[in-house]
Amino acid sequence: MVDFTFTTDPVPAGRPVRLSAEHDTFACRTAQEWLPYLQPLQRNWFESVTAVPRSGVSAFLLDGRPMA
């Protein structure tokens, strides 16, 4: 499985969101607000993904961990 994660500016309030056929809902949350929704095995991946914007560089993750 390959995942892509992107960081962007917040979606302006009131802007419509179009979902594809494979999605039935969406949510906008802070990183802290996402934590209760994560499965235990997703936590390492999530920590790595949320650390990337703070580092200011792109990252390649393998099994949820940054590659050197």
Element (H, E) at 61: strand 61-62
- Where is pLDDT greater, at 6 or 43? 43
Q: How far, in Å, are 1, 44, 45 from residue 66 at the CA level?
A: 16, 10, 9
Name the pLDDT band for 36 (thresholds 50, 70, 90). Answer: very high
- Report pTM: 0.58
Calculate mean pLDDT across residues 16-22. 90
Q: With H, G, I as helix, E, B as strand and everything else as coil, classify residue 65.
A: strand
Could you give the residue ranges of the DSSP H alpha helices within 5-67? 31-34, 43-55
| Domain range annotation of the chain | 31-58
What does the alpha-carbon distance between residue 44 and residue 42 come to, in Å, rounded to a whole number? 6
Mean pLDDT, rounded, of the chain: 81
- pLDDT at position 3 over 90: no
Given a contact cutoff of 8 angstroms between Cβ atoms, the answer to whether 24 and 33 are in contact is no
Calculate mean pLDDT across residues 31-41. 89
